[in-house]
Amino acid sequence: MARKANYEEKINAIEEKISKKQDEIKALKAQLSEIKAKKAQDDYKELTEYMTANNLSAAEVLARING
């Protein structure tokens, strides 16, 4: 007679793997969000430093961008 597969055990093992991967994805998304926030801060700082160094207002910068 053929051996009966233990489906519950296999299902539980796969569900556990899925759960671990979901936790990994959640952690990676948090890291991504943190890095994007830091990049935005650095970009803003660079822009304000440029504006200060060149004595430009926000309106002047926008006027140059929009040409």
The ranges assigned to domains in the chain are 26-67
- Look at residue 2 in the predicted model and tell me its pLDDT: 59
**What is the torsional sign of CA 19, 25, 29, 35?**
positive
For residue 24 the two structure tokens come to: 């990994």
DSSP per position, the chain? -PPPP-HHHHHHHHHHHHHHHHHHHHHHHHHHHHHHHHHHHHHHHHHHHHHHHTT--HHHHHHHHH-
pLDDT digits (tens, 9 = 90+) for 12-32: 999 999 999 999 999 999 999
Q: Can you give the pTM of this predicted structure? A: 0.69
